[in-house]
Structure 1
Amino acid sequence: MAVLRGWRFVGFVSCIVGAVGLTLYPVVIDPMLNTDKYKSLQEYSKTKRDELQHRNLK
């Protein structure tokens, strides 16, 4: 196994941190920054859920 020292170690750690950041951005950070889009999606899903419940009660 190769030993990572110096700039190679920094590059390896940077790639790991970057991959985790790219993975978490659309799930964690984007909803916090752009709340309007997610509020409208939540309202839409709530109305659809209410319609489905109303149909099932008939």
Structure 2
Amino acid sequence: MAVLRGWRFVAFVSCIVGAVGLTLYPVVVDPMLNTEKYKSLQEYSKIKRDELQHIKVK
């Protein structure tokens, strides 16, 4: 097993941090930066949910 030292260790850690950052970006960062898109999606789903509850009541 190779021992990571110097620039190889830095490259390895950078890849891990980058992978975590790329994974979390669409879940955490994008909704905070682009709130309008998610507000409209939330309102649309609320309207659909109300329509479905109205259909169940009948």
TM-score where L is the length of structure 1 = 0.99
Partner in structure 2 of residue 50 of structure 1:
50
Amino acid at match of 1:19: A
Within a 5 Å distance, the mapping from 1:1-58 to structure 2 comes to 1-58=1-58
Q: Where does structure 1 differ by over 3 angstroms across 4 or more consecutive aligned residues? A: none
Structure 2 portions without partners, runs of 5+ = none
Q: Percent identity?
A: 88
Structure 1 portions without partners, runs of 5+ = none
Paired residues in the alignment total 58
Cα RMSD (Å):
0.2
TM-score where L is the length of structure 2 = 0.99
